[in-house]
Structure 1
Amino acid sequence: MLVMDVNGTPAFRCSATLLAPKVVLTAGHCAGEPGEFSGMRIFTESDVQDGNNNYPFPGPNTIEAAEWHAHPLFTESAFFLHDVGVVLLTKAFKLPADQYGKLPSHDQLDALKPSSSTTFTAVGYGLQQINPVKIQAEKIRMFAEPHLIQIDGGIVGDFSLLLSNNASTGGTCFGDSGGPNFVGSSNVIGGVTSFGLNGTCGGTGGVFRLDRQNVLDFVGQYLR
Protein backbone atom coordinates (compact mmCIF):
# COMPACT_ATOMS: atom_id res chain seq x y z
CA MET A 1 0.00 0.00 0.00
CA LEU A 2 1.05 3.57 -0.74
CA VAL A 3 -0.06 6.42 1.56
CA MET A 4 0.27 10.01 0.39
CA ASP A 5 0.58 13.02 2.72
CA VAL A 6 -0.76 16.53 2.17
CA ASN A 7 0.92 19.22 4.28
CA GLY A 8 2.53 16.49 6.38
CA THR A 9 -0.71 14.66 7.16
CA PRO A 10 -1.77 11.31 5.64
CA ALA A 11 -4.59 12.08 3.21
CA PHE A 12 -4.97 9.40 0.50
CA ARG A 13 -4.05 5.82 -0.21
CA CYS A 14 -3.25 3.91 -3.39
CA SER A 15 -1.87 0.53 -4.36
CA ALA A 16 1.51 -0.06 -5.99
CA THR A 17 4.03 -2.68 -7.17
CA LEU A 18 7.72 -3.17 -6.47
CA LEU A 19 9.67 -3.32 -9.73
CA ALA A 20 13.06 -3.30 -7.98
CA PRO A 21 14.18 -2.98 -4.32
CA LYS A 22 13.86 0.82 -4.37
CA VAL A 23 11.51 1.38 -7.33
CA VAL A 24 7.72 1.34 -6.95
CA LEU A 25 5.20 1.54 -9.79
CA THR A 26 1.84 3.25 -9.25
CA ALA A 27 -0.69 5.45 -11.05
CA GLY A 28 0.10 8.99 -12.12
CA HIS A 29 -2.69 10.39 -9.96
CA CYS A 30 -1.09 8.65 -6.97
CA ALA A 31 2.23 10.39 -7.64
CA GLY A 32 0.43 13.62 -8.46
CA GLU A 33 1.49 16.87 -10.02
CA PRO A 34 4.62 18.60 -8.64
CA GLY A 35 3.94 19.84 -5.11
CA GLU A 36 0.62 18.03 -4.77
CA PHE A 37 1.89 15.70 -2.04
CA SER A 38 4.32 16.55 0.76
CA GLY A 39 5.45 12.98 1.36
CA MET A 40 4.52 9.35 0.96
CA ARG A 41 5.38 5.90 2.23
CA ILE A 42 4.78 2.28 1.38
CA PHE A 43 3.49 -0.34 3.81
CA THR A 44 5.26 -3.64 3.27
CA GLU A 45 2.74 -5.91 5.03
CA SER A 46 -0.18 -7.46 3.14
CA ASP A 47 -2.50 -6.86 6.14
CA VAL A 48 -2.00 -3.18 6.90
CA GLN A 49 -4.76 -2.74 9.47
CA ASP A 50 -3.52 -5.28 12.02
CA GLY A 51 -0.37 -5.72 14.09
CA ASN A 52 2.12 -2.91 14.61
CA ASN A 53 1.77 -1.14 11.27
CA ASN A 54 0.71 2.22 12.78
CA TYR A 55 -1.39 2.91 9.68
CA PRO A 56 -1.47 5.50 8.12
CA PHE A 57 1.60 6.89 9.86
CA PRO A 58 5.24 5.75 9.62
CA GLY A 59 6.00 2.56 11.53
CA PRO A 60 8.22 -0.52 11.62
CA ASN A 61 6.74 -1.86 8.37
CA THR A 62 6.92 1.31 6.29
CA ILE A 63 9.53 2.82 4.00
CA GLU A 64 9.45 6.53 3.21
CA ALA A 65 9.67 7.81 -0.35
CA ALA A 66 12.73 9.79 -1.38
CA GLU A 67 11.01 11.18 -4.47
CA TRP A 68 8.05 10.52 -6.72
CA HIS A 69 7.24 11.31 -10.32
CA ALA A 70 4.21 11.10 -12.57
CA HIS A 71 4.57 10.76 -16.33
CA PRO A 72 5.88 14.10 -17.66
CA LEU A 73 2.63 14.68 -19.59
CA PHE A 74 0.40 13.84 -16.61
CA THR A 75 -2.19 16.39 -15.49
CA GLU A 76 -4.95 15.94 -12.92
CA SER A 77 -7.48 17.47 -15.32
CA ALA A 78 -6.98 14.66 -17.85
CA PHE A 79 -5.28 12.12 -15.58
CA PHE A 80 -6.41 9.03 -17.51
CA LEU A 81 -4.30 9.94 -20.58
CA HIS A 82 -0.90 9.49 -18.86
CA ASP A 83 -1.81 7.79 -15.58
CA VAL A 84 1.47 6.20 -14.51
CA GLY A 85 3.90 7.15 -11.76
CA VAL A 86 7.07 5.97 -10.05
CA VAL A 87 8.06 6.23 -6.38
CA LEU A 88 11.71 5.91 -5.35
CA LEU A 89 12.29 4.65 -1.81
CA THR A 90 14.79 5.83 0.79
CA LYS A 91 15.88 2.25 1.43
CA ALA A 92 15.61 -1.05 -0.35
CA PHE A 93 12.92 -3.66 0.24
CA LYS A 94 14.32 -6.90 -1.09
CA LEU A 95 12.24 -9.73 -2.50
CA PRO A 96 13.19 -12.93 -4.34
CA ALA A 97 13.97 -11.94 -7.93
CA ASP A 98 10.87 -13.65 -9.36
CA GLN A 99 8.50 -11.71 -7.07
CA TYR A 100 9.09 -8.26 -8.52
CA GLY A 101 6.68 -6.97 -11.12
CA LYS A 102 7.91 -7.04 -14.70
CA LEU A 103 7.19 -4.53 -17.45
CA PRO A 104 5.54 -5.77 -20.65
CA SER A 105 7.23 -5.65 -24.02
CA HIS A 106 6.47 -2.88 -26.51
CA ASP A 107 2.82 -3.11 -27.70
CA GLN A 108 2.49 -6.56 -26.12
CA LEU A 109 -1.20 -6.10 -25.28
CA ASP A 110 -2.22 -5.38 -28.89
CA ALA A 111 -2.36 -9.13 -29.48
CA LEU A 112 -5.11 -9.57 -26.85
CA LYS A 113 -8.78 -9.91 -27.79
CA PRO A 114 -11.79 -9.08 -25.59
CA SER A 115 -13.00 -12.37 -24.16
CA SER A 116 -13.98 -14.00 -20.89
CA SER A 117 -10.86 -16.14 -21.34
CA THR A 118 -8.50 -13.13 -21.64
CA THR A 119 -7.91 -12.61 -17.94
CA PHE A 120 -5.79 -10.42 -15.72
CA THR A 121 -4.90 -10.63 -12.03
CA ALA A 122 -5.74 -7.32 -10.36
CA VAL A 123 -4.17 -6.70 -6.95
CA GLY A 124 -4.79 -3.87 -4.52
CA TYR A 125 -5.97 -2.45 -1.21
CA GLY A 126 -9.22 -0.89 -2.43
CA LEU A 127 -12.79 -1.06 -1.17
CA GLN A 128 -14.34 -4.52 -1.28
CA GLN A 129 -17.94 -3.32 -1.45
CA ILE A 130 -19.66 0.01 -1.99
CA ASN A 131 -23.36 0.77 -2.30
CA PRO A 132 -25.76 3.35 -0.87
CA VAL A 133 -26.01 1.57 2.48
CA LYS A 134 -22.68 -0.17 2.94
CA ILE A 135 -19.00 0.44 2.41
CA GLN A 136 -16.59 -2.41 3.18
CA ALA A 137 -13.01 -1.21 3.36
CA GLU A 138 -10.70 -3.78 4.91
CA LYS A 139 -7.10 -2.63 4.49
CA ILE A 140 -5.88 -6.02 3.32
CA ARG A 141 -4.23 -6.80 -0.02
CA MET A 142 -6.69 -8.72 -2.20
CA PHE A 143 -6.88 -9.87 -5.80
CA ALA A 144 -9.44 -10.43 -8.52
CA GLU A 145 -9.38 -12.07 -11.94
CA PRO A 146 -11.22 -9.72 -14.30
CA HIS A 147 -11.39 -10.32 -18.04
CA LEU A 148 -10.81 -8.01 -20.98
CA ILE A 149 -13.84 -6.02 -22.13
CA GLN A 150 -12.33 -3.36 -24.44
CA ILE A 151 -8.95 -2.56 -26.00
CA ASP A 152 -7.67 -0.35 -28.82
CA GLY A 153 -10.78 1.71 -29.43
CA GLY A 154 -13.85 3.30 -27.92
CA ILE A 155 -13.32 5.27 -24.72
CA VAL A 156 -9.99 3.57 -23.97
CA GLY A 157 -8.24 4.72 -27.14
CA ASP A 158 -4.80 3.16 -27.41
CA PHE A 159 -3.75 4.03 -23.85
CA SER A 160 -6.11 2.06 -21.60
CA LEU A 161 -8.12 -1.14 -21.17
CA LEU A 162 -11.53 -1.87 -19.77
CA LEU A 163 -11.73 -4.93 -17.52
CA SER A 164 -14.77 -6.59 -15.97
CA ASN A 165 -16.03 -5.59 -12.52
CA ASN A 166 -18.64 -8.00 -11.17
CA ALA A 167 -19.34 -10.49 -8.42
CA SER A 168 -18.13 -13.39 -10.57
CA THR A 169 -14.71 -12.12 -11.66
CA GLY A 170 -14.15 -9.48 -8.99
CA GLY A 171 -12.65 -6.17 -9.99
CA THR A 172 -11.21 -2.93 -8.66
CA CYS A 173 -12.49 0.02 -6.63
CA PHE A 174 -11.33 3.14 -4.76
CA GLY A 175 -7.93 2.48 -3.16
CA ASP A 176 -6.91 0.00 -5.85
CA SER A 177 -5.62 2.88 -7.99
CA GLY A 178 -2.04 2.31 -9.04
CA GLY A 179 -2.20 -1.40 -8.32
CA PRO A 180 -1.00 -3.94 -10.86
CA ASN A 181 -3.10 -5.79 -13.40
CA PHE A 182 -0.92 -8.78 -14.24
CA VAL A 183 -1.37 -10.49 -17.59
CA GLY A 184 -3.03 -13.81 -16.78
CA SER A 185 -1.19 -15.43 -13.89
CA SER A 186 2.23 -14.05 -14.88
CA ASN A 187 4.27 -11.33 -13.16
CA VAL A 188 4.04 -9.12 -16.27
CA ILE A 189 2.09 -5.96 -15.47
CA GLY A 190 -0.19 -5.10 -18.35
CA GLY A 191 -1.31 -1.88 -16.71
CA VAL A 192 -2.09 -0.03 -13.48
CA THR A 193 -5.59 0.50 -12.13
CA SER A 194 -6.65 3.97 -13.24
CA PHE A 195 -10.36 4.84 -13.25
CA GLY A 196 -13.93 3.67 -12.76
CA LEU A 197 -17.00 4.65 -14.74
CA ASN A 198 -19.39 5.08 -11.80
CA GLY A 199 -19.45 5.70 -8.06
CA THR A 200 -20.17 2.10 -7.09
CA CYS A 201 -17.26 0.46 -8.95
CA GLY A 202 -19.63 -1.70 -10.97
CA GLY A 203 -19.57 -2.91 -14.56
CA THR A 204 -16.05 -2.17 -15.76
CA GLY A 205 -12.76 -0.75 -14.51
CA GLY A 206 -10.18 1.27 -16.43
CA VAL A 207 -6.52 0.24 -16.56
CA PHE A 208 -3.72 2.43 -17.91
CA ARG A 209 -1.50 0.44 -20.28
CA LEU A 210 2.22 0.05 -19.68
CA ASP A 211 3.16 -1.40 -23.06
CA ARG A 212 3.33 1.87 -25.02
CA GLN A 213 6.87 3.03 -25.77
CA ASN A 214 6.57 6.41 -24.05
CA VAL A 215 5.43 4.67 -20.87
CA LEU A 216 8.18 2.06 -21.02
CA ASP A 217 10.74 4.83 -21.53
CA PHE A 218 9.41 6.82 -18.57
CA VAL A 219 9.38 3.90 -16.13
CA GLY A 220 12.52 2.30 -17.54
CA GLN A 221 14.73 5.29 -16.79
CA TYR A 222 14.36 4.54 -13.06
CA LEU A 223 15.37 0.90 -13.49
CA ARG A 224 18.75 1.50 -15.12
Structure 2
Amino acid sequence: MRRTSRTSLGLAVAAAAALVAGTGQASAINSYNATPAPERTEVGALVATWDDDDPATPDQVDWVCSGTMVDANTFLTAAHCTAAFTWPPNVRFYVSLEQDVQAALDAAEAQHPGDPTAVAQAVGVEGVAHTEPGYPGPASDSHDIAVIEVPAAAMAARWTFTPATLPAAGLLDRLGNRALDATGFVVVGYGTEEAQRGPGGHVHPGGGVRMKAPEGFNALNKTWIRLDMHEQHGNGGACYGDSGGPNFAVLGGELVLVSTTITGDVPCYATNVTYRTDTATARAFLAPFVALP
Protein backbone atom coordinates (compact mmCIF):
# COMPACT_ATOMS: atom_id res chain seq x y z
CA MET A 1 0.00 0.00 0.00
CA ARG A 2 1.45 3.30 -1.10
CA ARG A 3 -0.20 6.49 -0.03
CA THR A 4 -1.09 7.95 -3.37
CA SER A 5 -4.36 9.76 -3.89
CA ARG A 6 -7.80 8.71 -5.06
CA THR A 7 -8.85 5.93 -7.44
CA SER A 8 -11.07 8.55 -9.06
CA LEU A 9 -7.89 9.50 -10.90
CA GLY A 10 -8.82 6.71 -13.31
CA LEU A 11 -5.32 5.22 -13.51
CA ALA A 12 -5.12 1.58 -14.45
CA VAL A 13 -2.02 0.88 -12.38
CA ALA A 14 -2.66 -0.05 -8.77
CA ALA A 15 0.35 1.87 -7.47
CA ALA A 16 -1.30 5.09 -8.59
CA ALA A 17 -4.79 4.10 -7.50
CA ALA A 18 -4.25 2.46 -4.16
CA LEU A 19 -7.57 2.92 -2.42
CA VAL A 20 -10.88 4.71 -2.79
CA ALA A 21 -10.99 7.93 -0.81
CA GLY A 22 -13.71 10.51 -0.54
CA THR A 23 -13.59 13.75 -2.45
CA GLY A 24 -15.42 15.88 0.09
CA GLN A 25 -13.88 19.05 1.48
CA ALA A 26 -12.52 18.18 4.92
CA SER A 27 -9.37 17.73 6.94
CA ALA A 28 -6.34 16.04 5.50
CA ILE A 29 -3.94 13.89 7.52
CA ASN A 30 -5.77 12.05 10.34
CA SER A 31 -8.78 13.79 11.81
CA TYR A 32 -7.39 13.37 15.34
CA ASN A 33 -4.62 15.59 16.76
CA ALA A 34 -4.33 17.45 13.45
CA THR A 35 -4.57 21.15 12.58
CA PRO A 36 -4.39 23.23 9.39
CA ALA A 37 -0.89 24.22 8.30
CA PRO A 38 -1.14 27.57 6.47
CA GLU A 39 2.33 28.51 7.76
CA ARG A 40 3.98 25.53 6.04
CA THR A 41 4.07 27.29 2.69
CA GLU A 42 7.00 25.15 1.50
CA VAL A 43 4.69 22.11 1.45
CA GLY A 44 2.61 21.65 -1.68
CA ALA A 45 0.42 19.33 -3.69
CA LEU A 46 1.40 17.50 -6.86
CA VAL A 47 -1.26 18.09 -9.52
CA ALA A 48 -1.44 16.05 -12.73
CA THR A 49 -3.26 16.20 -16.05
CA TRP A 50 -3.63 13.10 -18.24
CA ASP A 51 -5.83 11.12 -20.62
CA ASP A 52 -6.02 7.33 -20.52
CA ASP A 53 -7.25 7.01 -24.12
CA ASP A 54 -5.91 9.88 -26.23
CA PRO A 55 -2.16 10.50 -25.92
CA ALA A 56 -2.50 13.96 -27.40
CA THR A 57 -5.16 15.68 -25.32
CA PRO A 58 -5.50 15.50 -21.51
CA ASP A 59 -9.04 15.20 -20.22
CA GLN A 60 -8.46 14.71 -16.49
CA VAL A 61 -6.90 16.86 -13.77
CA ASP A 62 -6.49 16.23 -10.04
CA TRP A 63 -4.07 16.51 -7.14
CA VAL A 64 -2.36 13.17 -6.62
CA CYS A 65 0.36 13.45 -3.95
CA SER A 66 2.11 15.81 -1.54
CA GLY A 67 5.65 17.17 -1.50
CA THR A 68 7.99 19.93 -0.40
CA MET A 69 10.03 22.71 -1.96
CA VAL A 70 13.65 22.04 -0.97
CA ASP A 71 15.08 24.99 -2.90
CA ALA A 72 13.72 27.70 -5.17
CA ASN A 73 12.90 25.32 -8.02
CA THR A 74 12.95 21.76 -6.65
CA PHE A 75 9.87 19.98 -5.30
CA LEU A 76 10.63 16.74 -3.43
CA THR A 77 8.05 13.94 -3.61
CA ALA A 78 7.83 10.13 -3.99
CA ALA A 79 8.83 8.08 -7.02
CA HIS A 80 5.56 6.14 -7.01
CA CYS A 81 3.81 9.47 -7.63
CA THR A 82 5.77 10.18 -10.83
CA ALA A 83 7.06 6.87 -12.23
CA ALA A 84 6.36 6.60 -15.95
CA PHE A 85 4.91 3.10 -15.75
CA THR A 86 2.09 4.33 -13.48
CA TRP A 87 0.91 7.03 -15.90
CA PRO A 88 -0.22 7.42 -19.51
CA PRO A 89 2.51 8.94 -21.71
CA ASN A 90 0.74 12.32 -21.88
CA VAL A 91 0.83 13.03 -18.12
CA ARG A 92 1.96 16.52 -17.12
CA PHE A 93 2.85 17.55 -13.57
CA TYR A 94 2.24 20.83 -11.76
CA VAL A 95 3.23 22.00 -8.28
CA SER A 96 0.71 23.95 -6.21
CA LEU A 97 1.44 25.62 -2.87
CA GLU A 98 -2.20 26.50 -2.22
CA GLN A 99 -3.38 25.81 1.32
CA ASP A 100 -6.65 24.34 -0.01
CA VAL A 101 -5.78 22.83 -3.37
CA GLN A 102 -9.13 21.05 -3.70
CA ALA A 103 -11.05 24.32 -3.39
CA ALA A 104 -8.64 25.92 -5.88
CA LEU A 105 -9.24 23.09 -8.35
CA ASP A 106 -13.00 23.34 -7.91
CA ALA A 107 -12.94 27.09 -8.57
CA ALA A 108 -10.67 26.68 -11.60
CA GLU A 109 -12.88 23.93 -13.04
CA ALA A 110 -15.89 26.23 -12.73
CA GLN A 111 -13.94 28.90 -14.63
CA HIS A 112 -12.47 26.56 -17.25
CA PRO A 113 -14.98 23.73 -17.79
CA GLY A 114 -13.62 20.98 -19.99
CA ASP A 115 -10.08 22.39 -20.06
CA PRO A 116 -7.85 20.40 -17.66
CA THR A 117 -4.71 22.23 -18.79
CA ALA A 118 -6.20 25.65 -17.95
CA VAL A 119 -7.37 24.29 -14.60
CA ALA A 120 -3.90 22.96 -13.74
CA GLN A 121 -2.25 26.22 -14.82
CA ALA A 122 -4.66 28.16 -12.62
CA VAL A 123 -3.65 26.26 -9.48
CA GLY A 124 -0.02 25.35 -10.10
CA VAL A 125 3.24 25.76 -11.97
CA GLU A 126 4.19 23.10 -14.51
CA GLY A 127 7.43 21.23 -13.97
CA VAL A 128 9.54 18.32 -15.17
CA ALA A 129 9.54 15.09 -13.17
CA HIS A 130 12.77 13.25 -12.36
CA THR A 131 12.18 9.81 -10.86
CA GLU A 132 14.94 7.87 -9.09
CA PRO A 133 16.17 5.43 -11.78
CA GLY A 134 16.41 2.58 -9.28
CA TYR A 135 12.69 2.69 -8.44
CA PRO A 136 11.14 0.29 -7.63
CA GLY A 137 13.94 -1.22 -5.60
CA PRO A 138 13.88 -3.98 -2.98
CA ALA A 139 12.18 -3.61 0.39
CA SER A 140 15.50 -2.70 2.00
CA ASP A 141 15.83 0.33 -0.30
CA SER A 142 12.87 1.03 -2.57
CA HIS A 143 14.47 4.13 -4.17
CA ASP A 144 11.01 5.72 -3.78
CA ILE A 145 12.07 9.33 -4.25
CA ALA A 146 11.52 11.88 -7.03
CA VAL A 147 11.66 15.60 -7.69
CA ILE A 148 9.76 18.01 -9.89
CA GLU A 149 11.88 20.83 -11.29
CA VAL A 150 9.80 23.99 -11.69
CA PRO A 151 10.76 27.49 -12.91
CA ALA A 152 11.93 29.42 -9.84
CA ALA A 153 10.65 32.75 -11.15
CA ALA A 154 7.17 31.34 -11.77
CA MET A 155 7.02 29.86 -8.26
CA ALA A 156 8.22 33.11 -6.65
CA ALA A 157 5.63 35.08 -8.60
CA ARG A 158 2.83 32.92 -7.19
CA TRP A 159 3.86 32.10 -3.62
CA THR A 160 6.20 33.13 -0.83
CA PHE A 161 7.99 30.21 0.85
CA THR A 162 11.20 29.29 2.61
CA PRO A 163 12.57 25.98 1.28
CA ALA A 164 12.73 23.11 3.76
CA THR A 165 15.99 22.20 5.45
CA LEU A 166 17.40 18.79 4.47
CA PRO A 167 19.48 16.73 6.89
CA ALA A 168 23.21 16.09 6.80
CA ALA A 169 24.38 12.65 5.69
CA GLY A 170 23.59 9.93 8.22
CA LEU A 171 21.96 12.34 10.67
CA LEU A 172 19.40 9.84 11.98
CA ASP A 173 22.02 7.13 12.49
CA ARG A 174 24.16 9.52 14.52
CA LEU A 175 21.21 10.54 16.68
CA GLY A 176 20.34 6.91 17.43
CA ASN A 177 17.21 5.42 18.93
CA ARG A 178 17.46 7.04 22.35
CA ALA A 179 17.68 10.59 21.00
CA LEU A 180 15.01 9.86 18.39
CA ASP A 181 12.67 8.64 21.15
CA ALA A 182 12.95 12.12 22.67
CA THR A 183 12.55 13.93 19.33
CA GLY A 184 9.30 15.45 18.15
CA PHE A 185 8.18 14.82 14.57
CA VAL A 186 5.64 16.64 12.40
CA VAL A 187 3.97 15.20 9.31
CA VAL A 188 2.45 17.57 6.73
CA GLY A 189 0.37 16.77 3.68
CA TYR A 190 -2.89 17.01 1.76
CA GLY A 191 -4.10 13.45 2.22
CA THR A 192 -7.33 11.91 3.39
CA GLU A 193 -8.45 10.99 6.89
CA GLU A 194 -8.20 7.61 8.58
CA ALA A 195 -10.69 4.87 7.68
CA GLN A 196 -14.31 5.46 8.66
CA ARG A 197 -17.28 3.14 8.22
CA GLY A 198 -19.37 4.01 5.20
CA PRO A 199 -21.91 2.37 2.92
CA GLY A 200 -20.26 -0.72 1.52
CA GLY A 201 -17.29 -0.66 3.90
CA HIS A 202 -14.50 1.65 5.01
CA VAL A 203 -14.00 5.01 3.32
CA HIS A 204 -11.29 7.66 3.66
CA PRO A 205 -13.00 11.08 3.62
CA GLY A 206 -11.45 14.47 3.13
CA GLY A 207 -8.22 15.44 1.44
CA GLY A 208 -6.94 18.39 -0.54
CA VAL A 209 -6.22 20.70 2.40
CA ARG A 210 -2.71 21.17 3.83
CA MET A 211 -2.68 19.81 7.39
CA LYS A 212 -0.09 18.88 10.00
CA ALA A 213 0.04 16.48 12.92
CA PRO A 214 2.56 15.37 15.56
CA GLU A 215 4.21 11.96 15.34
CA GLY A 216 6.53 9.93 17.55
CA PHE A 217 9.54 7.74 16.82
CA ASN A 218 8.92 4.03 16.26
CA ALA A 219 11.90 2.41 14.52
CA LEU A 220 14.93 3.22 12.38
CA ASN A 221 16.09 1.06 9.47
CA LYS A 222 18.69 1.38 6.71
CA THR A 223 16.52 3.60 4.49
CA TRP A 224 13.27 3.88 6.48
CA ILE A 225 12.13 5.62 9.62
CA ARG A 226 8.84 4.38 11.03
CA LEU A 227 6.81 6.97 12.90
CA ASP A 228 4.08 6.37 15.45
CA MET A 229 0.69 7.93 14.73
CA HIS A 230 -1.52 6.37 17.41
CA GLU A 231 -4.22 8.70 18.70
CA GLN A 232 -3.81 7.45 22.28
CA HIS A 233 -0.15 8.57 22.19
CA GLY A 234 -1.17 12.12 21.30
CA ASN A 235 -0.06 11.66 17.71
CA GLY A 236 -1.68 12.03 14.31
CA GLY A 237 -0.44 10.75 11.00
CA ALA A 238 -0.51 10.38 7.25
CA CYS A 239 -3.00 8.72 4.92
CA TYR A 240 -3.81 8.46 1.19
CA GLY A 241 -2.62 11.50 -0.76
CA ASP A 242 0.16 12.26 1.73
CA SER A 243 2.70 10.26 -0.31
CA GLY A 244 5.84 12.30 -0.95
CA GLY A 245 4.98 14.77 1.79
CA PRO A 246 7.46 15.73 4.48
CA ASN A 247 8.11 14.35 7.92
CA PHE A 248 10.03 16.94 9.91
CA ALA A 249 12.15 16.22 12.97
CA VAL A 250 12.27 19.06 15.48
CA LEU A 251 16.01 19.45 16.12
CA GLY A 252 17.40 22.42 18.01
CA GLY A 253 14.10 24.22 17.50
CA GLU A 254 14.35 23.80 13.71
CA LEU A 255 12.26 21.63 11.42
CA VAL A 256 14.48 19.28 9.42
CA LEU A 257 12.95 17.27 6.57
CA VAL A 258 14.27 13.85 7.53
CA SER A 259 11.90 11.65 5.50
CA THR A 260 8.98 11.51 3.07
CA THR A 261 5.73 9.61 3.53
CA ILE A 262 5.51 6.39 1.50
CA THR A 263 3.25 3.76 3.09
CA GLY A 264 1.77 2.43 6.33
CA ASP A 265 -1.16 0.49 7.70
CA VAL A 266 -4.22 0.33 5.42
CA PRO A 267 -6.71 2.15 7.71
CA CYS A 268 -4.13 4.89 8.56
CA TYR A 269 -4.29 4.44 12.32
CA ALA A 270 -0.89 3.26 13.50
CA THR A 271 2.37 3.68 11.57
CA ASN A 272 3.74 6.05 8.94
CA VAL A 273 6.51 4.27 7.01
CA THR A 274 8.73 7.00 5.57
CA TYR A 275 11.75 7.14 3.27
CA ARG A 276 14.83 8.74 4.80
CA THR A 277 16.45 11.74 3.11
CA ASP A 278 19.80 11.39 4.92
CA THR A 279 20.90 8.12 3.30
CA ALA A 280 23.53 7.67 0.61
CA THR A 281 20.88 6.63 -1.94
CA ALA A 282 18.62 9.61 -1.32
CA ARG A 283 21.52 12.08 -1.28
CA ALA A 284 23.04 10.67 -4.49
CA PHE A 285 19.72 11.19 -6.23
CA LEU A 286 19.16 14.68 -4.80
CA ALA A 287 22.69 16.01 -5.32
CA PRO A 288 22.21 17.14 -8.97
CA PHE A 289 19.11 19.12 -8.04
CA VAL A 290 19.73 20.76 -4.67
CA ALA A 291 22.70 21.82 -2.53
CA LEU A 292 22.98 19.29 0.29
CA PRO A 293 24.30 20.00 3.81
| TM-score, normalisation: structure 1 | 0.84
Bigger CA drift: 54-63 or 75-84? 75-84
Q: 1:61 to 1:10 in 2, by over 3 A?
A: closer
Structure 1 residue 76, shift from structure 2 partner: 8.0
SS of the residue aligned with 2:204?
Answer: strand
- CA drift of 1:146 comes to 0.4
Cα distance change of structure 1 residues 30 and 76 upon mapping to structure 2, 3 Å threshold? farther
How far has the Cα of 1:62 moved from its partner?
1.2
Note the 1:190-209 alignment, pairs <5 A: 190-197=258-265, 199-209=266-276
Secondary structure (helix, strand or coil) at the match of 2:172 reads helix
Change (3 A) 1:51 1:207: closer
Q: How does 1:147-186 map to 2 (within 5 A)?
A: 147-152=216-221, 158-167=222-231, 168-184=234-250, 186=254
Q: 1:21-100, aligned counterparts within 5 Å? A: 21-33=72-84, 36=87, 38-50=91-103, 54=108, 57-65=119-127, 67-75=128-136, 81-92=142-153, 93-94=155-156, 99-100=162-163
Q: How big is the shift at 1:43?
A: 1.7
Structure 1's 212 and 202: CA in aligned 2 closer, same or farther, altered over 3 A? Answer: same
C-alpha distance 51-27 of structure 1, shift in aligned 2 (>3 A): closer
1:200 CA displacement: 0.6
Q: Deviations over 1:128-169 (max 9, x none)?
A: 2322325321421000110110113xxxxx011110122221
Larger radius of gyration: 2
- State the shift of 1:49 in Å: 2.7
Q: Tell me, in whole angstroms, the C-alpha distance in 1 between the residues paired with 2:247 and 2:171.
A: 14
Q: Which digits, 9 at most, give the CA deviation of each residue in 1:105-129, with x for residues without a partner?
A: 0000111326653221110000123
Task: Note the alpha carbon deviations across 1:28-69, whole angstroms, 9 max, x for none.
Answer: 11121368351111222111233575268314331111x111
List runs of 5+ in structure 1 lacking aligned partners: 153-157
* Larger mean Cα displacement after TM superposition, 33-42 or 48-57: 48-57
Cα 1:112–1:63 change in 2 (3 A) is same
After TM superposition, give the deviation of residue 187 of structure 1 in Å.
3.3
Shift of 1:2: 0.6
Measure how far apart 1:223 and its partner are. Answer: 2.2
Query: Could you say which structure has the higher helix fraction?
Result: 2
Give a deviation string over 1:172-192, Cα, whole Å, max 9, x none.
000000001111263321010
1:121 pairs with 2:190: no
C-alpha displacement at 1:75, in angstroms?
1.9
| Higher relative strand content | 1
Structure number with higher relative contact order (C-alpha < 8 Å, ≥ 6 residues apart): 2
DSSP-derived class of the 1:188 partner: strand
SS of the aligned residue for 2:289 comes to coil
Q: How many residues align?
A: 216
Amino acid at match of 2:92: G
| Alpha carbons 2:47, 2:124 under 8 Å: kept | no
The equivalent of 2:255 in structure 1 is: 187
> Could you say if the C-alpha distance between residues 80 and 213 of structure 1 is closer, same or farther in structure 2, counting changes exceeding 3 Å?
closer
